[in-house]
Structures are given as structure tokens and as C-alpha cells.
Amino acid sequence: MSTIEARKITKRFGDFTAVKDADLSVAAGEVVCLLGPSGCGKTTTLRMIAGLERVTAGDIIIAGKRMNELPPEKRDIAMVFQFYALYPALSVGENIAMPLHYEKLAKPDRDRRVKKVAEILHLTDVLDRMPGQVSEGEKQRIAVARAIVRDPNCFLFDEPLSRLDVELRHSMRGQIKEVLSGLSKATVIVTHDQLEALTMADRIAIMRDGVIEQIGTPHQVFTKPNNVFVASFIGTPQMNLVKGRLEGVAGAKATIQFGGERVELEVNPAVSKLKPSQVTLGIRPRAFTPIGQGARDTIIAHAELIEPMGAETLVHARTPDNSDIRVVVPRDVKFKIGEKLHLRADPSQTHIFGEDGKAVRG
């Protein structure tokens, strides 16, 4: 069974803890993305799974076998490196065939498999060229080809699209997803681009400073972020996070004061258990509906900058206490700079985060 299980793995480099107690399990055929900013430990985690780094604590279990002490050669995994790691002295075809030598196949068999994989990734024309003579996108595909030409326990991708330009990324995202879905192996992809994660992954693990903050489906992490960090990391434009003071909860409505304003918002029932305290209010830009006049549940802000984005418009607004609010409205809704906005938030998309940054949710 092609599965990966990382149980509480920790990696320390001297005094520095790169990864702390990371728990991850990937089922056969599932694609899990490790997502996070630079230095969060996602690549280190991947390398521990690959065997390129030794775990300081914890267990790596691949296909049901404990692999902690085994070097990469013995783990039967395939990996696509960020810098492709193509062998410069070998032709493209020979590069792709490299992993097959271990299987001691006859040359015709090798060639057949290489051809098959090359067809899938549209590389048949460049098989005889050298890595230095192909384009960036082709190099990427060659690296992927080299990984899928075998039948490994699992696939590991280290920032596979980071070196491609936007257009290429778009097409490669789709291609990779298509290829992976046909292979039903556990796959882990490391990326810092949330769009990649959201489109390619079955589940996303968001990491910060060596700790996995949340694991969930793209839908889950988008609609139910566990804490402020995840909430701000996922979603473009970024979720609005405003600090305020919870004064009390009456019925389903919580009274929150920020910047001299008092707003009554419909929130998750769990919020009623909170005592009056500092909270962070999280509302996505597309969760706002601007209405004509103020009400007890609207937020007041003045439009400062208007960015047309094609089908939508991004409005940067500022509340009286100088908080930035980003609002996304359909194209036909027009505002003037300086105009006073009354924004009503969709309660199902309103998040309250406690003093500790964690989401308050039932």
C-alpha cells in the first residue's frame, strides 16, 4: 500500500529546531501539500520523509515499514527537486532512464518505458537533447518524468513550480494533477504558493516555524481556519483581521468594539462562552455587502484606493481607527474615493479569534 505516515517527527540542527512534532499521514493516491512561508520547515519535513535528513525524533513510516534508519536508496521513493537536479552529462532520455537501471531491465524495456512517460509529458521531441539545451518548462517535465518512470512507494515534490513563469505554472499545475491522479500513489508537495496548494492538493498542511498549524482540505482551511495565521495565509486578497474588544454576547449577536465604533455581529455560538476580552475579527473581502446606510451590524469605512481587477473590484478602505479593510465587489458596483461605506458581513464568513489567536468555533 502506498502510504506515508510521519509520526511526531522533529528535526534539530544544534540549537535550532527546524521541525517540531509534525504529524502527517498521506493515504494511497492522496496528494498532500506542505504549505507555508520560507523557513517554516516544510522542505526539511519533506527531506526527512525522503531520507536526505535524519529525524531527530519521531518515526517515518512508508508503505507500512519504518524507514528511520534507511538511506534514500532503500526507501523506494521518487522525488522532484526544486532545482530539477538533472544530470548534466546525460541526455534527456538517459536522465529519465536513470532510475530504471536499478531494476535491471533490458534496454528495449527501458526505452519503452521512457517513451511512454515522454509521451505523457510531451517530451518525445527532446529525448536526445542535453539538459542544458532545453527550456525551463521542459526541464521541469523531465524531472517529473524521471520520477514517474518508476513505480515507487510515493512521490515527493519540492517546490516543483517555483521556477516557472506564471503562464507555465498554470498549465503545469493542471498537467501534474492529471498525471498524479492516474497513478494512485501517496504524494507530498512542498510549496509556498497557496494557489498551487489549493488547486493541486487533496489536503493541505500549513506550517509555520516548524509546526503544522492545520491540516485539512482546501475547503476546510479556507472556510474554517484554525487560527489567525492560517486565516491570513489562505485566501487572496488576504482576509481582513481587525483587533477589537468583545464586550458581550446577547443571543446570537456579539458586541464588539473597535476604534470607537460598536458593532453587533452574528457569530458562532461558541463565542458566547468567551468573557469580555481582546479578540481578532476575521472577515474575508468577498464576505462584505455594502449597503446604503448604517445599521447596528455594519462596519463603517472610507474608500481610499480602488483597484479594478476585471470582473471584480478591490476597494481598500480605512476605518475611523485606521484599520485597513479590503472589500471585493462586483464590477458594476462603483465607489468614489473618500466615499463612506457601510459594510455588512456575511455571518457564516465571520470569524472570531481569541486572544491566543485561535479560532473560537463550536
Q: Which residues of the chain form contacts with another protein (CB under 8 A)?
A: 50-54, 66, 69-73, 76-79, 81, 83, 85, 87-90, 94, 98-99, 101-102, 130, 146
Nearer to another protein, 132 or 310 (CB): 132
For CA atoms 295, 299, 301, 305, give the dihedral sign. negative
3 state DSSP class of 329 = strand
E strands, 141-209, in order: 154-158, 186-191, 203-208
Measured distance CA(40)–CA(36) in Å, rounded: 6
Nearer to another protein, 72 or 216 (CB): 72
Nearer to another protein, 79 or 121 (CB): 79
* Residue burial 23-56, b: 16+ Cβ < 10 Å; e: rest: ebebeebbbbbbbbeeebbbbbbbbbbbbebebe
Report, in Å, the least distance between residue 85 CB and another protein. Answer: 4
Listed residue (160, 165, 200) closest to 180, CA to CA? 200
For residue 182 the three cell numbers come to 492516474
Nearer to another protein, 51 or 285 (CB): 51
Other C-beta atoms closer than 10 Å to the C-beta of 218 total: 18
Nearer to another protein, 84 or 233 (CB): 84
Nearer to another protein, 79 or 246 (CB): 79
Measured distance CA(94)–CA(98) in Å, rounded: 6
Contacts of 112 (CB under 8 A, 6+ apart): none
Report, in Å, the least distance between residue 343 CB and another protein. Answer: 45
Nearer to another protein, 155 or 222 (CB): 155
Nearer to another protein, 52 or 168 (CB): 52
Report, in Å, the least distance between residue 69 CB and another protein. Answer: 4
Report, in Å, the least distance between residue 59 CB and another protein. Answer: 11
* Residue burial 76-88, b: 16+ Cβ < 10 Å; e: rest: bbbbbbeebebee
Nearer to another protein, 147 or 352 (CB): 147
- For residues 32 and 189, the answer to whether their CB atoms sit within 8 Å is yes
For residue 58 the three cell numbers come to 519521531
Report, in Å, the least distance between residue 74 CB and another protein. Answer: 8
Listed residue (159, 185, 173) closest to 81, CA to CA? 159
Report, in Å, the least distance between residue 145 CB and another protein. Answer: 12
Report, in Å, the least distance between residue 86 CB and another protein. Answer: 8
Amino acid at 59: D
How far does the chain reach from its first CA to its final CA, in angstroms?
A: 36
Chain centre distance of CA 236: 12
- For residues 36 and 206, the answer to whether their CB atoms sit within 8 Å is yes
Find cell 509520526 and name the residue.
7
Say if residue 72 is preceded by a cis peptide, omega within 30 of 0: no
Nearer to another protein, 76 or 213 (CB): 76
Measured distance CA(11)–CA(19) in Å, rounded: 5
